[in-house]
Amino acid sequence: MNISSLQKARYEYTPKLPQMLRGGIAEISVLEGAETKSVADCEKIQALFPNTYGKKEIVFQKGQNTSAPKKQVVGVILSGGQAPGGHNVICGLYDALQSTNPENVLYGFKNGPIGLIEDDYVIFDDAYIDQYRNTGGFDIIGSGRTKLETNEQFAVVAEVCKKHGITAVVIIGGDDSNTNAAVLAEYFAANHTGVQVIGCPKTIDGDLKNEDIDCSFGFDTATKTYSEIIGNIQRDANSAKKYWHFVKVMGRSASHVALECALKTQPNICLISEEVAEKKMSLSQIADYIADSVEARAARGMNFGVAVIPEGVVEFVPEFAVLIAEINELLAGSKADEFNALPSWDEKYAFIKNGLTKESMEVFAILPQGIQQQLFLERDPHGNVQVSLIESEKLFSAMVADKLSARKKAGTYSGKFSPLHHFLGYEGRCAFPSNFDADYCYSLGYNAFMLIQYGYNGYLSKISNLSKPAAEWVAGGMPITKMMNIERRHGEDKPVIKKALVELDGKPFKFFEAHREAWAVETAYVYPGAIQYYGPAEVCDLTTRTLALEKE
């Protein structure tokens, strides 16, 4: 197999563990903390999880291992979208299993939760694992988005586990995947299967965080990858001095990625979806806000700039959310067929105008035609608009162009506006993990085994104190139910892990807010460059600006 020099070097990198996990399994003991309760809706969550609710948080420490020795046969799955470091979670889990007892076995179920249901697996050995150490991607076993949520599915999984003698299942995923892990853990406990379930917090979006989880894995690497590209674009913009770059970054439900990239690179504009919702900003107001920067920079002879746009920002605009709801209602049932049968866009436009309220039609009318048509493309399985398909970076650049045209006619603006568009998404999901993510993920996997060894079920592998050097990290676990609340999903009350949005009174946003007016007018760009894997710790093991500010 042909491999790059970096790839070869990364195979040989030894991830750093928290001090309490170093020195052998026999020297790791448990310190139990207080019993827990869910973040909200305590009585409802407790009723749904009678066997796994309210358990104690735990921390591992140096001391005599008091767990009962037994052969462990563990299954692991990768669930949801890719995030850098996933391979190292599996490597850490495998190494902990093997160092405890060479007879321990690790099954990798392929292509996500469906692998557990279809009993499609690989049994890991040294040769297999060594190909994936410290590398990006989820190609070690693949991933998938099948949800484990019905008793029929759980019964099948229980039979698969029984067939192989599996003692525990580790689910590596985001908020939905770890919600599924909690429900599966409850089923296993209620049915006395003897199988444990442990979750690991993954998502590049950064919205799986709380007082217990400093950050989810993959966020560090993804934002460093995007920030390198944004820095390169900024340097090009400052060299050519003739383009405005609109850069959309991942983050549909929260703006952590956009905010972190802005803190790293200092673009002229960065929209924060949570602020848009808080201030009830309209599309027109957002366009004016960007146009003000374009105009102010043009007055200084700078007809160039960079704007960072979170992927899901339009869903946070109140008037746009109402428009989407009306479109969903307009095309419900057989009306969709009636609409699709119309031969021209003019006739479809008339159909839309007749079906929307006056207020929503006013919003629809100001959208560029291309965006209007995107709203009526493929529907999701529930018949709703797929908002993620909307090219918001093109929407705002077109609206800004209209604003500037009006200002030019009014004689207040005389600059040039030439927009270019970028979407940074898949570029960041499978990058070589940074040292931080390589270390963090390896620790999460190693720690997951310790939770298994001590008999915990329905727990999340937890590594905290992440703003400090790895030796000072704290390893432990907490019941997944602690993070849960009840939300309305598809007309039903469902227990889900509460998503973490950007806190507008938090230190990272406050730092951004204090500097953005200057960044909007000046060229204050920062160029982070590529992720550094070798060299001084202050360069290679650097954590995110978000985490550094939060833990000041």
Residues catalogued as catalytic: 205
Name the residue among 461, 474, 459 with its Cα closest to residue 61: 474
SS3 464: strand
In degrees and rounded to multiples of 5, residue 202 shows phi and psi of -125, 130
Name the residue among 40, 59, 50, 44 with its Cα closest to residue 499: 40
- Measure the CA–CA gap between 56 and 181, rounded to whole angstroms: 18
- Angle at which helix 507-521 crosses helix 256-265, to 10 degrees, equals 50
- Measure the CA–CA gap between 183 and 446, rounded to whole angstroms: 23
Residue 109 bridge partners (DSSP): 121
Encoding tokens for residue 388? 């993620």
In degrees and rounded to multiples of 5, residue 231 shows phi and psi of -60, -40
Encoding tokens for residue 321? 């959310």
- Measure the CA–CA gap between 309 and 393, rounded to whole angstroms: 6
Burial of 499-514, coded b for 16+ CB within 10 Å and e otherwise, reads bbbbeeeeebbebbee
Cβ proximity of 248 and 311 under 8 Å: yes
Helix, strand, coil share of the chain (percent; to 5): 45, 15, 35
- Measure the CA–CA gap between 57 and 26, rounded to whole angstroms: 21
Q: Which residues 6+ apart lie within 8 Å of 308 measured at CB? A: 230, 247, 249, 258, 261, 262, 265, 267, 269, 270, 271
